[in-house]
Structure formats: structure tokens, C-alpha cells
Amino acid sequence: MRSLRTACAAVAALVLAGCAAEPSGPAPVPPATERDQDALIRYAQRVLVDGCLDRQGLAVAREPSSPQESRRLRDALFGAGPTELSLALPTGHTVRAHTDGCLAAARHALYGDQRRWFRAEVTVNNLSAEAAARMRADPAHRAARARFARCLEAAGPTRTPGPEQGVEQRCARESGLASVEARLRPTRLAEVRLLRRDQLTTHTRLRTRALHRAAEISAAYPHGNTPEKGSASP
């Protein structure tokens, strides 16, 4: 699969080189809103992935003709063999990813450094989960959960689905769990963001790079000239 990785990276590099080689005007400016920025990056990634697959005679938009072609498509898209990237989270989960395949090549073309982006993206995407784990470990939260459990137990085991929701809301209020979470959640999230500030900075920097690359790709390959409609590429 290393040859596939090299091929995909080369395809992505050629696409970007083609975008940069046309001095038809000022560099495209990325959109201002986060929603539009996300859409732009997804579109550029789709262009790169579809181009990489197309050069291998593959396409996500059509149904594979055989199990062998399905496996080939999956390997070409997501990579094959053992995953090269791995990050163990403070929550106890481990996230893994490939560095080969068309999807990885597209991300390399956009973000520049797959390993740094993987680490930063996974860390940032799990900040809320890390903050929630810290909140649950707080003695005040543990005590409130115990009161909440006793309240539910006192309500009896025959609660129907409708009233159960109301009972849980009442118990969360009466046990103090709701107020404890409202107080602790923003505090723990602020702690986690401070603890992971280096990864947050890296995430912002690499995302900014990707936005400018994506704007160039979108300008060179307008939406009407790509297989966006009906394409299932990531």
C-alpha cells in the first residue's frame, strides 16, 4: 500500500500545483462563517479523493461490481494493513487512522502534516468528552449522582417511558445534579482547553492552511465541474 500512498499523494500534489499555477487573479478568500468553511474543506477534500480514485479506475459513486472491487475500493479510499496513526485519549479510548489511501492523501494535501493534524483534530474533537470525564470525577458530582440514583430508586421500578423522563428531570433537579453539572461543566471545559492549548493552536493553524488550499481547489474546480452531486466521497 506504500505505492498507493505515494500515488495518492502525488495526485493531490498535482491538483494543488495546477491550482497554484494559474495566476488569473488574487488568491481566493475563504468564507467567513465556520459552517461555510467546513463545507469548503469537505468539497475540496472530495475533489482530491475523487481525482485520486478516478486515476485508479475507481469511483465511490457507483456500486462495486464484485467483492474484490469493493475491497480494492475500500483499501484505496481508507488505506490497508495496520493503522499507522494512534492516539490514546484521557477518557480511555484510542483513536486510530491510516496514513495511506486517497482520504489520507487528500488530508495531507490540505493540512500539510497528517500526523500533526490527526493528533490536533482528535484532541480538539474530544475536549468535551475529556471535560465530562473530569466533571464526573469531581466529588460534588459523585455525591449528586448518588442522590439522583436514590431518587430514581424511590420512584419505583414500574415507571412508564413517558413519566420516566419527567421523573429523571425532577430527580436531577431535586438531587442537585442539574445545578452541579451547570456549575462544573464550563469550569472543567476551560481547564481542559488550557491544558490542551498547544493542540488547539496547532488545530487552528493547520485548519487555516487547509482553508486557503481548499479555496484554491474550489476556484480551480467549481462545483458544477465535479462529481459532487451523487458522490459519496468523504
Please report, for the chain, the start and end positions of each structural domain, with discontinuous segments joined by +. Answer: 2-127+204-225, 130-193
Contacts of 93 (CB under 8 A, 6+ apart): 126
Question: How high is the pLDDT of residue 24?
Answer: 56
Intra-chain end-to-end CA distance of the chain, in Å: 20
How far apart are alpha carbons 61 and 55 in whole angstroms? 14
Return the minimum-mean-pLDDT range out of 3-12, 84-93, 144-153: 3-12
Which of 92, 71, 77 is CA-nearest to residue 45?
77
Q: Across residues 68-72, what is the average pLDDT?
A: 89
For residue 128, the one-letter residue type is S
Instruction: Grade residue 29 by pLDDT with cuts at 50, 70 and 90.
Output: confident
Instruction: Grade residue 165 by pLDDT with cuts at 50, 70 and 90.
Output: low
Q: Is the pLDDT confidence value at 140 over 50?
A: yes
Neighbours of 152 (CB within 10 A): 18
Question: How high is the pLDDT of residue 233?
Answer: 42
Question: How high is the pLDDT of residue 62?
Answer: 74
Q: Across residues 75-90, what is the average pLDDT?
A: 92
Q: Across residues 202-209, what is the average pLDDT?
A: 97
> Contact 44/213 with Cβ under 8 angstroms?
yes
Neighbours of 198 (CB within 10 A): 10
Q: Is the pLDDT confidence value at 203 over 80?
A: yes
Return the minimum-mean-pLDDT range out of 55-59, 114-118, 154-158, 193-197: 154-158
> Contact 176/147 with Cβ under 8 angstroms?
yes
Instruction: Grade residue 58 by pLDDT with cuts at 50, 70 and 90.
Output: confident
Which of 226, 225, 231, 20 is CA-nearest to residue 109?
20
pLDDT averaged over every residue in the chain:
84
Q: Across residues 157-167, what is the average pLDDT?
A: 60
How far apart are alpha carbons 58 and 196 in whole angstroms? 40
Q: Is the pLDDT confidence value at 210 over 90?
A: yes
> Contact 170/154 with Cβ under 8 angstroms?
no
